[in-house]
């Protein structure tokens, strides 16, 4: 494999300063790369890809099993790093690292099967479909699951024979470099996967680099539009996983206490900072008041606490700016008629803290109904009946995840499978990603899929091959 491209940082490079969200105190600082350095890295990645694509699944499998082993061995270290950079609780950080390890193991064991040649019958000779890697994929990743989002994209892409460049969120540079270290230690060629500490303003130029074949983004709707526009201008494939305002329909036959507990769990994933966290709870009339009371009690259990302590259920938000945006959405919703049932006040303490919050009487026109609230705020919306609940759930620009809470499994199955406009619909469970099933959304939640067979095939050339013996063709030869 090619030697790692050596980069000399120009004197004009800016510094990235991390901030501990729990305390507001500065952490480590890192030097940004320049766009010139990024182009150098992209060229080296393309050279490494040309060799990597010739490796077999046996070699790649061993590398990703090794990556899983390294992740598990350094689980506490990486969990602490996430806590320091973006405020994730230590317990959640450990769980995230284990999920990354499982993901690496899964694609190590199943990539070859997902990409096995598929025979086809086209009426003569031999025909089959084969799956070839397409090149270097640029991954533009967010801060909220700083390890999982990257490994979710990297494991299938590299197992398929591609290369990858990582442009991570600017507040988690330590996580970005740690991921690079894990993969290199596991045996991924140095230039095949590289972390680039770049500002968002340089992403377009990197997408248009001839050495970049495709781009995958997890981020906001505006970021998705920007990446899609840049990729489209040079006819490059992109996969977009964008925002979500996941709706959970709570039907009148649901067990109210159990439904409220599950709703709180769904809302409070990662402190509410998750695209697939439950955000809108649409409750059919007869149980509305009981559900409101039960959800308030369930959400009370998520007390703010030191994210480095075992058992803490709610740490800080990722930044004061993000916290202030959440609070603004809550205040505007209340001004427009929502009822504040729990929380909703900024605590007087340093850091990016916000309490578990519940809003009732949420309606169209309020931010809690129309927008993605990326924090620990649950919105309760009243519905007249099942049909009205489905209408409200689908009345959103987003379509990532969705849920149905009911005691009638056939009813829940029907609504989830046929009625809800979302990439994922879970019955009596909170929505989550899993390497074994496709993950992604519709509408403004993006397009394309990650995970499973559908995910690994996003960044391959799906090629038809037809093989037939050459037959003599009779006829008059024209000189």
What per-residue confidence (pLDDT) applies to 7? 53
Phi, psi of 39 (to 5 degrees): -65, -40
The upper half-sphere exposure of residue 394, i.e. CA atoms within 13 Å in the direction of its Cβ, equals 12
Q: Tell me, what's the pLDDT at 478?
A: 53
Quick check: 9 pLDDT over 80?
no
**SS3 at position 430:** coil
Percent of the chain with pLDDT over 90: 95
Residue 473: pLDDT band (50, 70, 90) is low
pLDDT exceeding 70 applies to what percent of the chain? 96
C-alpha to C-alpha distance for 331 and 7, rounded to whole angstroms? 48
How does residue 2 score in pLDDT terms, banded at 50, 70 and 90?
Answer: very low
Question: How large is the C-alpha radius of gyration of the chain?
Answer: 24
DSSP string of 383-408? ESSHHHHHHHHHSSSEESEEEEE-S-
State the pTM of this model: 0.95
Is 90 exceeded by the pLDDT of residue 81? yes
288-300 vs 256-267: helix axis angle to the nearest 10?
A: 50
Q: pLDDT tens digits, residue range 54-68?
A: 999 999 999 999 999
Determine the pLDDT at residue 12.
56
Local structure of 137: helix, strand or coil: strand
Question: Is pLDDT above 60 for 10?
Answer: no
CA distances from 479 to 471, 474, 476 (A): 21, 15, 10
Confidence of residue 479 (pLDDT cuts 50, 70, 90): low
Helix runs in 147-301, H state only: 148-159, 173-186, 203-207, 221-233, 256-267, 288-300
Long-range contacts, 78-81 (Cβ 8 Å, 24+):
78/147, 78/175, 78/178, 80/308, 81/174, 81/175, 81/178
Looking at residue 14, its pLDDT comes to 87
**CA dist., res. 125 & res. 271, Å (int):** 57
pLDDT at 458: 98
Has residue 357 got a pLDDT over 50? yes
**Residue range 224-233: mean pLDDT, rounded:** 98
Q: For 89-105, b where at least 16 C-beta lie within 10 A, e where not — what string? A: bbbbbbebbbbbbbbbb
Confidence of residue 356 (pLDDT cuts 50, 70, 90): very high
Q: What angle do CA 175, 179, 182 make, to 5 degrees?
A: 135
Q: What is the mean pLDDT of the chain?
A: 96
CA torsion, ordered 29, 35, 38, 42, to nearest 10 deg = 160
What is the rounded average pLDDT of the residues 108-124?
97
Burial 402-424 (b: 16+ CB within 10 A, else e): bbbbbeeeeebeebbeebbbbbb
Residue 191 burial (CB count, 10 A)? 26
Q: Is the pLDDT of residue 477 over 80?
A: no
What confidence tens digit (pLDDT) does each residue in 268-326 have?
A: 999 999 999 999 999 999 999 999 999 999 999 999 999 999 999 999 999 999 999 99
Q: Which of 104, 175, 238, 275 is catalytic?
A: 275
Choosing from 32, 85, 96, 241, the catalytic residue is 241
Looking up tokens 């391959």 gives 460
| pLDDT the model gives residue 6 | 53
Look at residue 474 in the predicted model and tell me its pLDDT: 66
Q: Which token pair is 420? A: 């809800």
Q: Can you give the pLDDT at residue 471?
A: 85
Cα(2)–Cα(188) distance, rounded to whole angstroms? 11
Looking at residue 472, what is its pLDDT? 78
Report, as an integer, the average pLDDT of 222-227. Answer: 98
Residue 461 pairs in a beta bridge with 132
275 is catalytic: yes
**pLDDT digit string, tens, across residues 163-197:** 999 999 999 999 999 999 999 999 999 999 999 99
Q: How many CA atoms lie within 13 A of 476 on its CB side?
A: 1
Q: So what's the pLDDT on residue 3? A: 42
Q: Which helix (DSSP H) or strand (DSSP E) does residue 64 occupy?
A: helix 57-73
Per-residue pLDDT tens over the stretch 335-347: 999 999 999 999 9
Closest to 150 in 3D by CA, of 86, 187, 194 = 194
Q: Taking a C-beta distance cutoff of 8 angstroms, is the pair 406, 412 a contact?
A: yes
């Amino acid at each position: 494999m090619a030697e790692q491209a050596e980069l000399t940082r120009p004197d004009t490079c800016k510094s990235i300063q991390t901030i501990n969200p729990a305390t507001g105190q500065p952490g480590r600082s890192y030097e940004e790369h320049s766009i010139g350095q990024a182009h150098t890295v992209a060229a080296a990645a393309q050279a490494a890809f040309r060799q990597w694509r010739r490796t077999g699944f046996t070699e790649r499998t061993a590398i990703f099993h090794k990556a899983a082993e390294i992740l598990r061995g350094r689980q506490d270290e990486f969990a602490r790093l996430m806590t320091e950079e973006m405020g994730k609780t230590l317990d959640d950080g450990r769980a995230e690292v284990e999920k990354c390890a499982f993901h690496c193991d899964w694609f190590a064991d199943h990539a070859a099967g997902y990409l096995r040649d598929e025979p086809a019958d086209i009426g003569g000779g031999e025909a089959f479909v084969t799956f070839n890697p397409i090149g270097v994929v640029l991954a533009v990743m967010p801060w909220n699951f700083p390890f999982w989002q990257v490994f979710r994209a990297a494991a299938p892409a590299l197992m398929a024979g591609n290369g990858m460049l990582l442009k991570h969120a600017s507040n988690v540079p330590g996580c970005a470099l740690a991921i690079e270290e894990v993969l290199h230690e596991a045996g991924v060629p140095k230039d095949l996967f590289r972390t680039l500490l770049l500002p968002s303003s340089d992403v377009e130029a990197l997408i248009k680099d001839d050495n970049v074949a495709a781009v995958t983004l997890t981020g906001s709707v505006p970021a998705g539009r920007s990446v899609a526009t840049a990729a489209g201008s040079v006819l490059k494939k992109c996969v977009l996983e964008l925002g979500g305002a996941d709706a959970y329909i709570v039907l009148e036959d649901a067990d109210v206490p159990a439904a409220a507990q599950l709703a709180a769990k769904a809302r409070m994933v990662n402190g509410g900072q998750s695209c697939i966290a439950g955000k809108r709870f649409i409750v059919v009339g007869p149980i509305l008041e009981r559900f409101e009371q039960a959800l308030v009690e369930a959400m009370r259990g998520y007390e703010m606490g030191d994210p480095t302590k075992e058992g803490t259920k709610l740490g800080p938000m990722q930044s004061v700016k993000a916290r202030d945006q959440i609070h603004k959405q809550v205040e505007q919703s209340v001004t427009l008629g929502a009822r504040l049932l729990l929380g909703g006040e900024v605590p007087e303490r340093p850091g990016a803290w916000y309490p578990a919050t519940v809003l009732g009487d949420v309606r169209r026109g309020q931010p809690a109904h129309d927008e993605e609230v990326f924090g620990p705020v649950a919105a309760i919306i009243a519905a007249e009946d099942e049909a009205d609940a489905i209408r409200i759930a689908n009345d959103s620009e987003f379509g990532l995840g969705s849920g149905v809470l009911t005691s009638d499994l056939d009813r829940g199955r029907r609504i989830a499978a046929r009625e809800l406009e979302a990439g994922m619909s879970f019955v009596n469970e909170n929505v989550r990603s899993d390497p074994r099933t496709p993950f992604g959304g519709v509408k403004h939640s993006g397009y394309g899929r990650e995970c499973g067979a559908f995910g690994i095939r996003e960044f391959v050339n799906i090629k038809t091959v037809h093989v037939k013996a050459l037959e003599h063709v009779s006829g008059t030869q024209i000189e």
